[in-house]
Amino acid sequence: MICEARFLEGITDEEIGAMLDAERSEGDETTQRGPPERVDPNRTWVTREGVFVDRMASAWLIRRFIDPGARFKFVPARGYSPKSGELRFDMFKAEYTHEGERCTFQTLVHRFGLSESALRAIGEIVHDIDCKDEQFGRPETPGVMRLLRGIADSTPRDSERIERGSALFDDLYASFNKTRG
């Protein structure tokens, strides 16, 4: 049987292929591969334009925990060739993207050795919204989805979406840390 399917919005065929390739090559990787990754500060991080859930959350994570001086560049989903020194996230053939069952946010948390329970909880929310699989079923997910949809619908510029989304993720992070203590 031969079948062809296409997503109407969000993820491209090339990205699906990359995720399947990563899944095949990594298998069920649940442990850290070695020491956490590190990047030189003040890098240019590149992602697809039209940022939404995973890219908004990942940009927040990058700037807050990985590279405080990060600059973001938004490019078309297809046909972009990275410049020297750029790091790509949540796009086809990116250095940081979906790996196995992990969304990009979860991949970044895992590969940079970030172990806070608040980040794990946010990752579960982002995963369920982005992957649309309800794997974690957190009660906060529908509310976060609604807020992110409002940001995306009312904010045409990607850099502004990142800033507004970052404020939301700052508050969500503080909320999870407060419930722990």
**Does the pTM of the predicted model rise above 0.75?**
yes
Q: What is the mean pLDDT of residues 163-171?
A: 98
Q: pLDDT tens digits, residue range 44-57?
A: 999 999 999 999 99
The answer to whether the beta carbons of residues 157 and 165 sit under 8 Å apart is no
Lowest mean pLDDT among 6-15, 45-54, 57-66: 6-15
Q: Per-residue confidence at 178, pLDDT binned at 50, 70, 90?
A: confident
Q: Which residue has the higher pLDDT, 176 or 25?
A: 176
The answer to whether the beta carbons of residues 83 and 42 sit under 8 Å apart is no
Q: Which of 72, 112, 76, 68 is nearest to 92 (CA)?
A: 76
